[in-house]
């Protein structure tokens, strides 16, 4: 599974008004592990940044004047994202700018080149409703140091978001038990059946030490999310169970 954490910095907030991308950063995850195979560009946006945007990213027109234009990096960028899932904080913003840059070059939208687009801001709002869910707030919530972040930068923000995403989705990996080992059973294969009523199943209760250790783990999870972890939440009973 190949995923790319992506972030952009822009000259302003509105691509329809002529604002452009001036920095682009991607951090690669393969099977939820950072590979170090990252992509990063400073880009000449061919216009000045709005004062508010300049205060956020600090990338001046003079600094960007000798950097490649988006048309010069598009092929490398498309090759890099091909087929990969994109993970973006507030994805509509970055995708809107990327689609605008692609359209200027007569190219179809970004979604035609990549896999799934995952919005970590939307995920965070579901996990922490009513709370601040900016990248800085999530770093603080998950204990990820961002002390070195004085200005926004596409690559730095992508690296921080990668850590946040892994923390947010920890424990969601699928645990697959293959009852047939490495052999692949065909559709006509008759698997041996076991008479379950003939088995005497031994139930081993947790010891006091094991229960205490389990409780300690749950307490650590509660502290990490600054609330109640999903492992303490009871499933809502089905309708037929509620009436019995």
Give the active site residues.
152
Gap between the Cα atoms of 25 and 7, Å rounded: 5
Gap between the Cα atoms of 133 and 138, Å rounded: 6
- Other CB atoms within 10 Å distance of the CB of residue 137: 14
Gap between the Cα atoms of 143 and 162, Å rounded: 14
- Other CB atoms within 10 Å distance of the CB of residue 224: 14
Nearest C-alpha neighbor of 12 from the set 63, 59, 61, 53? 53
> Which residues does 73 contact at the CB level (< 8 Å), separation at least 6?
24, 41, 43
Tokens 């003079």, residue located: 62
Per the CB < 8 A criterion, the answer to whether 81 and 60 are in contact is no
């Amino acid at each position: 599974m190949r995923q790319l954490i992506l972030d952009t910095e822009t000259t302003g907030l509105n691509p329809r008004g002529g604002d452009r991308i001036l920095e682009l950063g991607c951090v690669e995850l393969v099977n939820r592990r950072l590979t170090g195979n990252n992509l990063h560009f400073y880009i000449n946006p061919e216009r000045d940044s709005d004062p508010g945007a300049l205060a956020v990213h600090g990338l001046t027109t003079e600094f960007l004047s000798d950097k490649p234009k988006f048309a010069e990096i598009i092929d490398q960028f498309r090759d890099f994202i091909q087929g990969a899932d994109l993970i973006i904080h507030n994805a509509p913003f970055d995708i809107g700018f990327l689609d605008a840059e692609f359209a200027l070059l007569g190219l179809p939208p970004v979604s035609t080149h990549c896999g799934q687009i995952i919005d970590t801001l939307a995920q965070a709002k579901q996990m922490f409703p009513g709370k601040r869910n900016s990248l800085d707030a999530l770093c603080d919530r998950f204990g990820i140091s961002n002390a070195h972040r004085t200005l926004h930068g596409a690559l730095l923000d992508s690296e921080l978001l990668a850590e946040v995403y892994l923390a947010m989705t920890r424990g969601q990996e699928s645990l697959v038990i293959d009852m047939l080992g490495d052999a692949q059973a065909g559709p006509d294969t008759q698997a041996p059946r076991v008479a379950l009523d003939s088995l005497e199943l031994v139930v081993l209760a947790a010891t006091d030490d094991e229960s205490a250790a389990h409780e300690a783990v749950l307490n650590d999870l509660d502290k990490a999310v600054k609330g109640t972890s999903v492992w303490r939440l009871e499933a809502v009973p089905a309708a037929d169970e509620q009436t019995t």
